[in-house]
Amino acid sequence: MASKLLNDKQIKNAQPKEKAYKLNDGDGLYLFVTPSGGKSFRFNYTKNGKQKTITFGLYPVITLSLARDLLIEAKRANREGDAAEEKRKEKQTEILKGDNTFRFIAELWVKDFLSKKSESTQRKVKSRLSRFTYPKIGHRPIHLVTSADILQLTEYVIKNSTLDVALRVKQEASQIIKSAKNKNFIDFDVTASLRNAFPSVKQKNFASPAQDLNKTGALLRTIWTYCGSIQVKTALRLAPYLFARPGELRQMKWSEINFNEKLWKYDASKGAGPHIVPLSRQALELLEEIKPHTFENRGGYVFTGARSVMRPMSDNAMNAALKSLEIDTQEELTGHGWRSVARTQLSEEYDIDSKFIERQLSHKTTEANGTAYDRAKYLKKRIPMMQTWADHLDKLRENKELQG
């Protein structure tokens, strides 16, 4: 490629002007900056006497390095030109006689790839495809799927799941496209330039063993050895069962607990509004154990403060207890960590619909329905889900084989 005229600093500092303008990178590649501040990498070329433009994608989703790789792909495809056009048309005509969608190719890949994999792996891969990949690109003809589509899919998964799941989805999509090339459905692998491309979205992760079942079980066994105060011990044990925010758990009040309905109803933080947590058999047993110790305290808190029953347990009590058990709260687990564990393992191990999990996490929604509706949304689904989750944790803690 010709001399590189652009660098990341220049691109980052490029400011919008009254009219759109270009910053050339050489060899036809340029950055197009709009009056609204949008930045995209583009390439102009001529075919059959007409000028055409390829837009590779928006910066910073498409980096300068990735744009240069995509340019090489585009030029290679263009060089094939008329000599390969008839062959390509014949191939596409043959493809169009049958099913040429990404989903069709993916299902062929699933049969080949998963045939010798464990049932657990099969379930997880199929779940990721149905939850994320198919809704986004499953309907598209395989030859029209671009590397930018795969990057957008990855970013979508990050917003709706975890970074680890997003990277798995990206890897699987790349393998499906490579399979399409090997089966002559497409001429080249558009994801070749994405091998080292990672999502641009920065995600703050609380320490947790979200993907590691053995580590989760080991941490639970360690937590169950805690022999400090009944309040901290109970809070530590309730936290994984309920996976509420630590601040919400430590401020739990007896007036919010309905033992008959087996529900905990309270106003969630982060602007999420009224929230309901179904209480599993295990959670109810723990509440019954601590009930004689704090139920009649004037403050009404389940976990009262060390200095006053009128105040809840301090916000550092649980992390201090974890540290006393020699659990690294920076690398292994924080109070918040159980939320990512639940979100990941409920999805990966039991194929629970993400909307049920997100509702249970009390993530704020933008739905137009009233508060009362949102408060109890999916409750019939979430009640058995929470019991499944509690049983799952017990199996991990007792080191028993999981049966999804």
pTM of the predicted structure, to 2 decimals: 0.53
pLDDT computed for residue 82 by the predictor: 47
Across 220-240, average pLDDT: 94
- Contact between 307 and 282 under an 8 Å Cβ cutoff? The reply is no
Across 116-136, average pLDDT: 85
The pLDDT of residue 353 is above 80: yes
Q: d(Cα 279, Cα 286) in Å, to the nearest integer?
A: 10
Tokens of 293: 């110790």
- Contact between 396 and 298 under an 8 Å Cβ cutoff? The reply is no
Q: d(Cα 128, Cα 137) in Å, to the nearest integer?
A: 13
- What whole-number percentage of the chain has pLDDT above 70? 85
Residue 279: pLDDT band (50, 70, 90) is very high
Q: Looking at the DSSP assignment, which residues form a beta bridge with residue 42?
A: 30, 55
Whether residue 141 is preceded by a cis peptide bond, meaning omega within 30 degrees of 0, is no
pLDDT computed for residue 391 by the predictor: 96
Residue 122: pLDDT band (50, 70, 90) is confident
Most confident of 24-28, 131-135, 223-227, 284-288: 284-288
Say how many residues make up the chain. Answer: 404
Q: Is the Cα torsion angle 270, 273, 279, 284 positive or negative in sign?
A: positive
pLDDT computed for residue 97 by the predictor: 44
Tell me the three state secondary structure of residue 43.
Answer: strand
CA distances from 230 to 7, 196, 221, 392 (A): 59, 49, 17, 24
Listed in order, the ranges of the chain carrying CATH 1.10.443.10 are: 213-397
pLDDT computed for residue 137 by the predictor: 93
Please indicate whether residue 390 or residue 348 has the higher confidence score (pLDDT): 390
Each residue's pLDDT tens digit, 12-65: 899 989 899 999 998 889 999 988 788 889 998 887 778 888 888 778 767 888
CA distances from 14 to 65, 69, 202 (A): 17, 22, 22
pLDDT computed for residue 100 by the predictor: 76
Q: d(Cα 273, Cα 337) in Å, to the nearest integer?
A: 22
CA distances from 190 to 55, 148, 170, 177 (A): 14, 9, 13, 8
Across 296-312, average pLDDT: 91
The pLDDT of residue 132 is above 60: yes
Across 101-105, average pLDDT: 89
Residue 133: pLDDT band (50, 70, 90) is very high
Listed in order, the ranges of the chain carrying CATH 1.10.150.130 are: 99-203
Phi and psi of 58, rounded to 5°? -85, 140
Each residue's pLDDT tens digit, 366-398: 444 444 445 678 999 999 999 999 999 999 999
Topology (CATH) of 213-397: hpI Integrase; Chain A (1.10.443)
CA distances from 269 to 90, 104, 249 (A): 59, 44, 11
Compute the C-alpha angle 339/343/346, nearest 5°: 125
Tell me the three state secondary structure of residue 140.
Answer: coil
**Among the CATH numbers 1.10.150.130, 2.40.50.140, 3.30.930.10, 1.10.10.10, which is that of 99-203?**
1.10.150.130
Per DSSP, the residues of 365-400 read ----S-HHHHHTTTHHHHHHHHHHHHHHHHHHHTTP
Compute the C-alpha angle 263/362/312, nearest 5°: 65
Tokens of 179: 């399979």
Q: d(Cα 329, Cα 142) in Å, to the nearest integer?
A: 45
pLDDT computed for residue 195 by the predictor: 61
Topology (CATH) of 1-82: Double Stranded RNA Binding Domain (3.30.160)
Q: d(Cα 168, Cα 132) in Å, to the nearest integer?
A: 11
The pLDDT of residue 287 is above 70: yes
Tell me the three state secondary structure of residue 11.
Answer: helix
Average pLDDT of the residues of the chain: 82
pLDDT computed for residue 55 by the predictor: 83
Tokens of 153: 């899919």
Each residue's pLDDT tens digit, 161-189: 777 788 889 989 999 998 888 877 777 78
Listed in order, the ranges of the chain carrying CATH 3.30.160.390 are: 1-82
- What whole-number percentage of the chain has pLDDT above 90? 34
Across 257-266, average pLDDT: 96
Please indicate whether residue 172 or residue 192 has the higher confidence score (pLDDT): 172
- Contact between 160 and 70 under an 8 Å Cβ cutoff? The reply is no
CA distances from 221 to 215, 345, 398 (A): 10, 18, 8
The pLDDT of residue 95 is above 50: no
DSSP-derived secondary structure letter, 24: E
Most confident of 33-47, 126-140, 195-209, 367-381: 126-140
